[in-house]
Structure 1
Amino acid sequence: MADLQDDLHTGTEAGGLGDLSEPLTAQAYPPEPYAPVSDPDDEPLTRAHAVLAAHPVADGYSGLPRALGRLPWYDLELGESGVDTDVPRLREGHVGALLWSLHLPENPENPENPDGDRAVGATLEQLDLVKTVVRAHPEGLRLAYDAGQAIDARNCGRVAVLPGPAGAAAMGDRLGILRSLHALGLRVLTLSGVSWAGEAGLTRFGEEAVREMNRLGVLADLSGASADTVRRTFAVSKAPALCTRSGARALRPHPANLPDDLLVELGAAGGLCMVPLTAEQTGPTVRDVADHLDHVRTVAGPQSVGLSGTYDSGTAHPLELGDPSCYPRLIAELLRRGWDEADVALLTWGNFQRVLRGAAFTARAVQQRREPSTATIAELDG
Structure 2
Amino acid sequence: MADLRDDLDPGTAVDELGDLPDPFPGKPYEGVTGAEEDADTDLLARAHALLATHPVADGYSGLPWALRRLPWFDLELGESAVDTDVPRMREGHVGALFWALHLPEGLAGDRAVGATLEQLDLVKTVVRAHPEGLRLADAPGPITDVRHSGRVAVLPGPAGAAALGDSLGILRSLHGLGLRALTLSGVSWASEAGLTRFGEEVLREMNRLGVLADLSGASEDTVRRALAVSKAPVVCARSAARALRPHPANLPDDLLAELGAAGGLCMVPLTAEQTGPSVRDVADHLDHVREVAGTQCVGLSGTYDAGAAHPQDLTDASCYPHLAAELLRRGWPEADIALLTWGNVQRVLRGADFTAREAQRRRAPSTMKIAELDG
The answer to whether the superposition gives a TM-score over 0.5 is: yes
Aligned residue number for residue 98 of structure 1: 97
Shift of 1:233: 0.3
SS of structure 2 residue aligned to 1:105: coil
Shift of 1:149: 1.0
- Output the CA distance in 1 between the equivalents of 2:167 and 2:21: 44
* Structure 1 residue 196 corresponds to structure 2 residue 202: no
What one-letter code is carried by the residue in structure 2 that aligns with 1:93? Answer: G
What one-letter code is carried by the residue in structure 2 that aligns with 1:269? Answer: A
Tell me the percent identity: 78
SS of structure 2 residue aligned to 1:324: coil
* Structure 1 residue 360 corresponds to structure 2 residue 359: no
Aligned residue number for residue 233 of structure 2: 240
- Output the CA distance in 2 between the equivalents of 1:334 and 1:166: 31
Aligned residue number for residue 62 of structure 1: 61
- Output the CA distance in 2 between the equivalents of 1:138 and 1:27: 23
What one-letter code is carried by the residue in structure 1 that aligns with 2:18? Answer: A
Relative distance call for 1:197 and 1:29 in structure 2 (3 A) is farther
SS of structure 1 residue aligned to 2:248: coil
1:28 to 18, 30, 42: 18
Relative distance call for 1:36 and 1:119 in structure 2 (3 A) is closer
2:202 to 194, 203, 209: 209
Relative distance call for 1:99 and 1:364 in structure 2 (3 A) is same
Q: After the TM superposition, which segments of 4 or more aligned residues of structure 1 sit over 4 Å from their partners?
A: none
Aligned residue number for residue 144 of structure 1: 137
SS of structure 1 residue aligned to 2:83: coil
Aligned residue number for residue 323 of structure 1: 316
Aligned residue number for residue 79 of structure 1: 78
> What whole-Å deviation, never above 9, does each CA across 1:37-61 have from its counterpart, x for those lacking one?
2235311111000000000000000
CA contact (8 A) 2:208 2:363 kept: yes
CA contact (8 A) 1:29 1:155 kept: no
SS of structure 2 residue aligned to 1:194: coil
Aligned residue number for residue 46 of structure 1: 45
What one-letter code is carried by the residue in structure 2 that aligns with 1:303? Answer: Q
* Structure 1 residue 295 corresponds to structure 2 residue 285: no
> What whole-Å deviation, never above 9, does each CA across 1:90-125 have from its counterpart, x for those lacking one?
000000000000001112xxxxxx345300111111
- Output the CA distance in 1 between the equivalents of 2:284 and 2:267: 14
CA contact (8 A) 1:104 1:115 kept: no
Aligned residue number for residue 155 of structure 1: 148
- Output the CA distance in 1 between the equivalents of 2:27 and 2:163: 44
> What whole-Å deviation, never above 9, does each CA across 1:347-382 have from its counterpart, x for those lacking one?
000000000000000000011110000111000000
- Output the CA distance in 2 between the equivalents of 1:214 and 1:115: 24
CA contact (8 A) 1:175 1:374 kept: yes
SS of structure 1 residue aligned to 2:227: helix
- Output the CA distance in 1 between the equivalents of 2:243 and 2:190: 25
CA contact (8 A) 1:36 1:46 kept: no
- Output the CA distance in 2 between the equivalents of 1:204 and 1:116: 20
What one-letter code is carried by the residue in structure 2 that aligns with 1:118? Answer: R
- Output the CA distance in 2 between the equivalents of 1:323 and 1:88: 11
> What whole-Å deviation, never above 9, does each CA across 1:244-288 have from its counterpart, x for those lacking one?
000000000000000000000000000000000000000000000
Shift of 1:26: 3.0
- Output the CA distance in 2 between the equivalents of 1:29 and 1:86: 25
Aligned residue number for residue 28 of structure 2: 37
SS of structure 1 residue aligned to 2:101: coil
What one-letter code is carried by the residue in structure 2 that aligns with 1:38? Answer: Y
> What whole-Å deviation, never above 9, does each CA across 1:117-164 have from its counterpart, x for those lacking one?
300111111100000000000000000011111111100000000000
CA contact (8 A) 2:27 2:91 kept: no
1:228 to 212, 216, 221: 221
What one-letter code is carried by the residue in structure 2 that aligns with 1:28? Answer: G
Shift of 1:29: 6.0
* Structure 1 residue 337 corresponds to structure 2 residue 337: no
Aligned residue number for residue 111 of structure 1: none
What one-letter code is carried by the residue in structure 2 that aligns with 1:373? Answer: S
CA contact (8 A) 2:109 2:165 kept: no
Aligned residue number for residue 35 of structure 2: none
* Structure 1 residue 272 corresponds to structure 2 residue 268: no
- Output the CA distance in 2 between the equivalents of 1:203 and 1:29: 48
SS of structure 2 residue aligned to 1:325: coil
- Output the CA distance in 2 between the equivalents of 1:208 and 1:173: 11
Q: CA RMSD in A?
A: 1.1
1:122 to 97, 115, 119: 115
What one-letter code is carried by the residue in structure 2 that aligns with 1:37? Answer: P
Relative distance call for 1:335 and 1:206 in structure 2 (3 A) is same
What one-letter code is carried by the residue in structure 2 that aligns with 1:378? Answer: A
SS of structure 2 residue aligned to 1:238: coil
Count of residue pairs brought into register by the alignment: 354
